[in-house]
Amino acid sequence: MDIIYKITFKDRLNTMTPPYYYIGSKSNCEVKGGVIFSSNGREYWGSSRYNGYPFKLQGATVEVLKDMTGAEYSDLIEEEYSIQKHFNVVESPDYFNLSYAAVNTFSKPGYSVYRHKNNPNKIIRLKTDDYLVESGEYIHINANAAKDEKVISNWVENVARKPASAKQKAAASVASKNKIMLKNINTGECIKVDKSEKCLYNNTIWKNPAAVSQKKDTCTHCGVTSTVGNIKRWHNENCKFKETKEYIDSSKIRTTDRKRIPVVIDDIVYKSINSASIALGVSKYEIKKRAGI
């Protein structure tokens, strides 16, 4: 059988302890003595997510509201939704249902999670302008909720401080790839512009913010001027030119005794292997091979 059923929890009804009912659907089942049996022979008492739902409460009985045997599954769900809406099973505190069949409001804007004012376990999703919300019968799930310090601490450590994912980093990289920052040295204003637009700004006024913001200092020994950090680390008391008092660019200081080796290729003298390689358009290895070096 394929059915739409209603479970009545008689014990709860007798003690006036809502909710009392649940409406759902079940395929490939059998109903005997007010009990639903699945195709595997086990009892079935619904699939509500309601906190504390009494799956095997004594005194519960099943009523078949509609036999849909042989119908398409989509038709079964559609009819289940229609019947549930007729009884307002989600909004009513008398039912254990927390959502309507085949209706997913999580993807729809304008919805939020609410709980019944007198029954904190009745938690459902409603439109923010639903009359049940406006009347105060259902209140927001977080209304008057105490803030757990442990939960807040966990959120800060594992969410707020969580490193950006690879996807976030990639998106940020794409967004900023063709952008540069410029700072006005007169006003201090910073702007982000496309690299192609940099030429539109006066480069004597708009400069790299890092270059503008870094303070300069001068070495007391060799007189070189650089950033404060560089001067403090490599100059003043640590300066290599304390004695000579003259700064020499390290890139211009030869640290080896390399000498150019003249080579002769096809009776033409080249001043070095490198110059011969450039002139003839072949590798240095080939030049050495031809010159017999």
Statement: residue 290 has pLDDT above 90: no
Residues 6+ positions from 246 with CB-CB distance below 8 Å: 222
Mean pLDDT computed over every residue of the chain: 83
Give the per-residue pLDDT at 107: 44
Q: Which two tokens stand for residue 125?
A: 């999703």
Mean pLDDT of all residues in 60-68: 94
Per residue in 222-241, pLDDT (tens digit) is 888 888 888 888 889 889 88
Statement: residue 151 has pLDDT above 80: no
Mean pLDDT of all residues in 147-155: 71
Give the per-residue pLDDT at 252: 62
Per residue in 68-117, pLDDT (tens digit) is 998 887 888 889 999 999 999 999 999 999 988 864 555 455 778 889 98
Cα–Cα distance list, 52 to 18, 55, 96, 98 (Å):
12, 9, 10, 13
Report the phi/psi class of residue 292: left, alpha or beta, with left for phi > 0 and alpha for psi in -120 to 50: left
Other residues' Cβ atoms within 10 Å of the Cβ of residue 202? 8
Statement: residue 211 has pLDDT above 60: yes
Statement: residue 124 has pLDDT above 50: yes
Question: If you count DSSP H runs as helices and E runs as strands, how many of each does the chain have, helices first?
Answer: 9, 16
- Higher-pLDDT residue of 62 and 194 is 62
Give the per-residue pLDDT at 159: 66
What is the spatial distance between Cα 205 and Cα 78, in angstroms, rounded to a whole number?
68
Give the per-residue pLDDT at 121: 86
Statement: residue 25 has pLDDT above 90: yes
Q: Which two tokens stand for residue 1?
A: 């059988």
Mean pLDDT of all residues in 30-38: 91
Per residue in 237-282, pLDDT (tens digit) is 889 888 888 887 766 665 555 567 788 888 888 888 888 888 888 8
Instruction: Give the DSSP letter string of 250-281.
Output: GGGS--S------EEETTEEESSHHHHHHHHT
